[in-house]
Every structure is written in C-alpha cells, then in structure tokens.
C-alpha cells in the first residue's frame, strides 16, 4: 500500500501556503490552487528522498468560514439548478411523447412547447430521412 500524505493549502495574501501534517517541516507555496498538489509532491519527494510518484497526495483547502459558506452556497445552488433541469427535461420528453402519440407533427409540438422541431426530433429519438427533399422559400425542390 502506497503512503498517503495530506497537503493542507491555506490562503495567505497572493499565495497558497502548503503544509504536510504527516511530515513536520515540509512546506511549500503556490500561486494557484491547481498547482498545490504538484508543489506538495515535489516538497515531499525532496524531504523523503523518494520518487514523486511513489506516494499519494490529497489536497485539503482551508478557507475562512465566510468563504466556505459562499462556496458551499454556490455548489448547492448549482446542484438545485441541475436537478430542476433534469426534471424539466423529463417533463419535456413526456410532453413531446404525449403530443407525438396524438399524431402532431414535430413543428406543431415544438411550437406548443417552445422547442425547435429539431429538438423535438432529438427528444423522440427520430432523425429526418437521408436524402429527404424539401422546398426552398421560392418553392423549388432542394435536398435537405
């Protein structure tokens, strides 16, 4: 089993200060959070005199309570929006299917549900026939 170390990153001015609780005396810093793991990995490897891929690193961000609250609120709000989008999609699929079962054309379904006729086709899982021919605005036949 590979050793696992926890790199704690705490914001100090423009830097993330990095400590490794399992290895007192191992410190580093990074300007960006996405670089914390690499910086911690390098510091640990130097301290242990071991290859940087011989252990695992878990990054733990430490934020002030007000920042933690703002981050949590944003994550919760996005999750709620996603859940509502999924519910709206399921409801739209059911409505499209119901209207299609009544024999309505895609364009009528789209107009009723404020969707494009292409989206209606996607929701129904249908595609236009290959080589289908439509009419241009001038009335001339044209391939679709």
Instruction: Please tell me whether the overall predicted TM-score, pTM, comes out greater than 0.85 for this model.
Output: no
Q: Are 99 and 121 in contact (CB under 8 A)?
A: no
Q: Inform me whether the pLDDT recorded for 104 exceeds 60.
A: yes
Q: Which of 71, 78, 88 is nearest to 123 (CA)?
A: 88
Mean pLDDT, to the nearest integer, of 24-30? 96
Strands 15-20 and 27-30: antiparallel
First CA to last CA distance, the chain: 60
Q: Identify the band that residue 3 occupies on the pLDDT scale cut at 50, 70 and 90.
A: very high
How do the residues of the chain divide into helix, strand and coil, expressed in percent and rounded to 5? 50, 20, 30
pLDDT at position 132 is: 47
């Amino acid at each position: 089993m590979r050793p696992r170390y926890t790199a704690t990153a705490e914001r100090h001015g423009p830097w993330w200060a990095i400590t490794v609780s399992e290895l007192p005396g191992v410190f580093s810093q990074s300007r960006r959070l996405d670089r914390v793991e690499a910086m911690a990995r390098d510091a640990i490897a130097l301290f242990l005199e071991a290859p940087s891929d011989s252990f695992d690193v878990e990054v733990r961000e430490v934020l002030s309570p007000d920042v933690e609250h703002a981050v949590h609120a944003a994550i919760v709000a996005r999750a709620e929006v996603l859940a509502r989008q999924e519910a709206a999609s399921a409801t739209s699929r059911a409505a499209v299917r119901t209207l299609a079962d009544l024999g309505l054309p895609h364009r009528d379904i789209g107009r009723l549900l404020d969707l494009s006729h292409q989206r209606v086709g996607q929701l129904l899982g249908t595609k236009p026939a290959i080589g289908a021919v439509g009419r241009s605005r001038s009335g001339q036949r044209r391939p679709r």
